[in-house]
Amino acid sequence: MSTDLAGIIAHIREGIVVFDSEGRVEEWLGAAQRMFGWSAEEMRGHNLDERLKPKDVNGNRTCIGRVAKDKELTITKGTPERELLTVTRTGGPLWVGVTSSFERGADGSVVRTTAVMRDIGRRKRIDIAKSEVISAVAHELRSPLTSVKGFTSTLLHRWERFDDDHKKHLLATINADADRVTRLIGELLDVSRLEAGRLPLSRRMIRLDDIASRVVERIRPRAADHEIAFEFPEHFPQVYADSDKIEQVLTNLIENAVKYTPGGRVRVAGSLLDSSVLVSVSDEGEGIASEHRFQVFHKFFRERVQAQNPGTGLGLYISKGLVEAHGGRIWVEDGTDKGAVFSFTLPLTHDSVD
């Protein structure tokens, strides 16, 4: 191999391995060493499958160097890409996409195989995340729909057996579960719009303190064990924003604070900065580990969610998107004594006066 060609092959992004009919490595080229950790000298003569321990997508042991039974598959007509889970020199997992081509002898048997392997770890992580999303959404939908179906069936078949109070209780439960499904579908639509950059905003001058107060009063009956403090100064400036979207942000933050503060104090406060307003929601829960401060705003991240606190992990992701769509920012930090403080800003305009 010429020096120029060897240099070119050494810098390609894929790993190239050539092995004989017994699976023994003859050439270990391209990104193979960067991907797996073994040098060409360490791989030559060793069985490829014994080193990489490949498994298929179902977790079954397989072979990278499996013999092509199709006589049409040759050096010029290779196999479709296969997704395999392999191990590196350090024992870590590595998902690779493998395509193979074959050199045949005079009798038609495979004498040499060339496999091109590329790192598909990012793609597989996305696929796994999508599967987890589907599972999470299916679970979140199944629970309220099962309740709606059960209570509706009960009312239809036993209407005359229940008094009015019992009927109202069942109907209220059905209504609450239907609202839960509607909210989940709305969250999924918001995620889709945020990622497509097509989130519509209906902006006007709004009173942020009034919206925050309304959200607090709506949540307060469901938080009988909590003290919810509302601290906004008089004559709090108006902001140019979408009232419904900001109410959604405040609802997410305050509901989360109540959820993670069993019987504690929740504080909703506003203050004026130089060119923006600041709203903070603090709780007295366990707080958020420093390494998770950015992750909590990612989709489906549920580090704080316990088994008794159902949810999809979409609320903070959507809140971040809504705040940033208004030109503001959102973040989380430690509380003064304990718990977490979620804060967001919204910019002021020249009309932000009473």
pLDDT in tens, 287-299: 887 777 778 888 7
- The closest alpha carbon to 317, from 335, 344, 288, 295, belongs to 295
pLDDT category of residue 351 using cuts at 50, 70 and 90:
low
Sequence letter at residue 313: G
pLDDT of residue 6: 65
Arithmetic mean of pLDDT over the chain:
85
pLDDT of residue 88: 95
Residue 310 has pLDDT above 60, yes or no: no
- The closest alpha carbon to 280, from 197, 346, 352, 327, belongs to 346
Percent of the chain scoring above 70 in pLDDT: 88
C-alpha pair distances (Å), 171 with each of 27, 45, 159, 174, 185: 71, 73, 12, 5, 21
Beta bridge partners of 119: 96
How do 110-119 and 93-104 pair as beta strands? Answer: antiparallel
Beta bridge partners of 267: 229, 282
| Over residues 301-330, mean pLDDT | 75
C-alpha pair distances (Å), 214 with each of 115, 119, 210, 225, 343: 63, 51, 6, 19, 18
Q: Which residue has the higher pLDDT, 269 or 182?
A: 269
pLDDT of residue 186: 82
d(CA 194, CA 271): 28
Within 10 angstroms of residue 24's Cβ, the number of other Cβ atoms is: 15
d(CA 98, CA 84): 7
- The closest alpha carbon to 324, from 302, 298, 344, belongs to 344
Lowest mean pLDDT, pick from 36-45, 121-130, 223-232, 268-277: 121-130
- Find out whether 95 and 36 touch, Cβ atoms under 8 Å: no
Residue 3 has pLDDT above 60, yes or no: no
pLDDT category of residue 308 using cuts at 50, 70 and 90:
very low
- Find out whether 87 and 93 touch, Cβ atoms under 8 Å: yes
d(CA 3, CA 333): 55
d(CA 338, CA 354): 36
| Over residues 334-348, mean pLDDT | 89
- Find out whether 278 and 263 touch, Cβ atoms under 8 Å: no
Collapsing DSSP to helix, strand or coil, 190 comes out as helix
Within 10 angstroms of residue 222's Cβ, the number of other Cβ atoms is: 10
pLDDT of residue 224: 82
CB burial readout 134-149, b (16+ within 10 A) else e: eebbeebbeebeebbe
- The closest alpha carbon to 80, from 98, 62, 56, belongs to 98
Sequence letter at residue 301: F
pLDDT category of residue 305 using cuts at 50, 70 and 90:
very low
Contacts of 56 by beta carbon, 8 Å cutoff, 6+ apart: 62, 82, 83, 84, 85
